[in-house]
Each structure stands twice: as C-alpha cells, then as structure tokens.
Amino acid sequence: MLFVLGVLVVVVGVALSIALHEIGHLVPAKKFGVKVTQYMVGFGPTVWSRRRGETEYGIKAIPLGGYVRMIGMLPPRPGDAPGQLRSSSTGRFSQMVDQARADSMEEVQPGDEDRVFYKLSPGKKIVIMLGGPMMNLLIAFVLITGVITLYGLPQVAAKVGAVAQCVPTAAPTVQNPQPTCAAGDPKAPSAAAGLQQGDRVLSIDGKAVSSWDQISATIRDHAGTPTAWVVQRGDQKVALTVTPARLQRATYGSDGKPVVRDGKLVLAPMGYAGIVPGQDLVKTPLLEAPGYVWDRVLDTAGIIVQIPQKMAGVVQAAFGSGERDPNGPISVVGVGRLGGEVAAVDIPDSEGGNWVKLAQLVLLIASLNLALFVFNLIPLLPLDGGHVAGALWEAVKKGVARVRNRPDPGYVDVAKGLPIAYGMSLVLITMSVLLIYADIVKPISFFG
C-alpha cells in the first residue's frame, strides 16, 4: 500500500510539473498577444477538456508531456504571401516542411494575422520558449530550498551508523575489493567492544572527536592497539575499549575507485573496526541555497551530456547481463518506482520516519524538474531550446542588418529545421521506449 502511495505521489508531482511547465509558455504567450488555441497536459486521446475563451484546456490519456498550441509557429516561406504557399517543392523533406507550413497557416483565422508567434520580436519569442524550462527551474529551486533549509541534508557525522558482526578475512580482489564475512570469521572489534548503532563518539584516547575523518584515521593507524573510546548513548556517556584488527585492505584513488596495477588490486595493511559512519541532518543557510541548487544543475547537465554514452549501458543491462548505472538515465516509470521504494522502506521514528520519506520524495520530484530544465535547453527542435536558438539567430541577423544599414532580413525560417525535429522526435521516442523497458526488466533501486 505504501509503495502504491509513493508511486501516486510521484505521478501527481510529474503531472503538476508538466502542467506548470506549459503554464510557463502559456502566460507570456497570452501576455504578448499570441492566440493560444490549446493547453494540454499529456498526449493521446483527450480525457477531459473545457474551453475558456479562445483556449481549450484539457488533460490527455498519456501523462508523458504536454503542449501549448500557439498559432503561426512557422513563418510562410520567403516570397510567399501570408496564408499562401507555392506548390513547387520537390523532395520528401521539402514536401513535409510545406505541409507543416500549410497546417500552421490553417489555424490563422481572419483577424488573427498579427497574433501569430512568428511575428513576435526575438526577445518575446525567447521569453515564451524559456518560460517552460524556467518554471521547472523555479519548481526545483523552491522544493530543494525548502528541504535543505527547513529539514536539512544528511551529512556524515562522528557517530556509529552500523556495526559489523565479524571481520572479513577473505583477500580483496579486483572483482570483489570489499569482501563480506564468511562462516568462521572472527568477531568484529566494534561488536566485541560493545559499540551500538547511534553511539556518538566523543573522544578516543582522551582526544576530543568532532568528525568521522578523525575516527577513521584512528582506526586505520591503530591496528592491533587498544584504544579508549567514550561515546554518548542516549543520556549516558559510556567508556569502551576498541582494538582494531589488522587487515590487508584495498586502496582507493582520488576518483573513489580501487587502485589496480598490473591487473592486481593494490593492498595496504590498516586497522579495521567494523563500523560505518552515521549521519546527522544539517540545515543549509538560506543564502547558500542558490549555490547548492546551481551545483545540482551542473550535476544534472553532466549526466544529460553523457546520455548517448550511458544509453549503451542501458541496452546492455536491459537485453544482456550488464548492471544498470545508478547514476544513469531513467524513465518516468523508473522515477515512479523509486518513489514507491522510498514510501515503502521501513524507517524508524527515531531516525526521522515519514519525514525522511517525504523529504526524499520531494527531492526526487525536484531532480526530475532539474532534468526537464536542462534537457529542454538543448538547442534542437522540437525542444524549447531549438526555438530559442532560432530566435537568437534572428536577433543576430536583425542586429547586424541595423548596424550595416541594410534592410530587415525578416524572420528566421525555423521550418527548415523540421527534418531535424522529426529525427530528434524519433530518437526521443526510441530512448523513452528503451528506458521504460529497462526500468521494468532491470530497474534502478535506491536500496540495491
């Protein structure tokens, strides 16, 4: 039941994000006098619609997008009178473009000639087309800022997050750099000393502890040496003696990956206590929120840039024995599944309970909005960034003409980019189908 509830929360969040994205286009379009005939959330058959004035507002059956239909998105071909098209085009793509122009002009009724999109100034076109992505950025900013300033972000703290029960004595390998315990392995020093999950480390050998790095360094450098710990456990301070075991452990580079030389894992002797760090929720100051959100935008952009490369891994995972990259692309189906996992996981009230789940769901929806923001800025039709690129090129041409005292060069013919739009649409549909299939047969999970 909780899983279904989590999925529904994500579905509603996605639908609202799409609806607000389209409002980002709708409001400035109407403000600038463009006639808008439809505002739709979703694709496919119409489930519900109502007409208000000249605009039909509705919901369609497939909640994977939305659109605002503005008249006159495509200009007439240079040399054609508005509303008229020559029929001399040859070639499949030319005919497709001319048909698209004709369909666009059919929406222009008598009296609407000056309410078409293509006649707007480049600046107004940019405002309208950026309105959708900027709405997604605003949604993400509000959601992320609310979570990190009012609830907080988990950060590694000087406390025990989990206690291992034994010392893994198997030798690390390239395939398994962190072996797990096997039958007959000795008891872990942390368990033997009586450490418990939630213990906050106050001092080791009389030296005050304020970070996990201090704890980790002490364990690493004191293999086989008893160390005196004082921990806070509830309202009590408890004194313990921990003697880290000496193990050959994998070494890691600055990239976080195990160091391998000549096909072998590079090992080093170090202490092992058998504990992992706990986390505290730390609230972010409001003035630091914009910087944090900007860092997430850059992270999202980095992932999107790598989508073509990562799609190969998705195909291998979906149709072969490969594993899904947890930082790779996922579909709306995958996002919904993650939302269900978050809602269904059992988190004790002492560790935040339902508040942790709510914060994770909010951040999941915020991440989706960041992805929509960045993805729509790609300067290719039919994405918003493609129309923005056309408007910017038009502004450059008009500006150069003014500087050189030349005639106005007219509108940029974005219709010439329709073959690219058709190709891009095919790529997006193919990617979506592959991702949905992969998210069904081999989904990404928050919890392994």
- Would you call 308 helix, strand, or coil by DSSP? helix
Tokens for 370, please give them: 């960041």
Contact 197, 161 (CB under 8 A): yes
DSSP labels, 393-417: HHHHHHHHHHHTT--------GGGG
What is the DSSP annotation of 14-61?
A: HHHHHHHHHHHHHHHHHHTT--EEEEEEEEEEEEEEEEETTEEEEEEE
Determine if the peptide bond prior to 290 is cis (ω within 30°): no
77 burial type by CB count under 10 A (0-12 exposed, 13-18 middle, 19+ buried): middle
Give the closest residue to 5 by CA, choosing from 352, 446, 354, 339: 339
Residue 408: half-sphere exposure toward Cβ, Cα within 13 Å: 7
Q: How far apart are CA 410 and CA 288, in angstroms?
A: 45
Q: Which residues contact 135 (CB under 8 A, 6 or more apart)?
A: 20, 21, 23, 24
Annotated catalytic residue: which of 22, 113, 351, 394? 22
Active-site annotation holds for 22: yes
8-state DSSP, 336: H
39 DSSP β-pair partners:
57, 68
For strands 153-163 and 275-282, give the pairing.
antiparallel
Distance CA 272, CA 219 (A): 6
Q: Tokens 């004035």: give the residue.
A: 53
Distance CA 425, CA 292 (A): 33
Paired tokens of 108: 């222009």
Q: Beta partners for 280?
A: 155
Q: Report the alpha-carbon distance of residue 205 to residue 310 in Å, rounded.
A: 48
Could you give the residue numbers annotated as active site?
A: 22
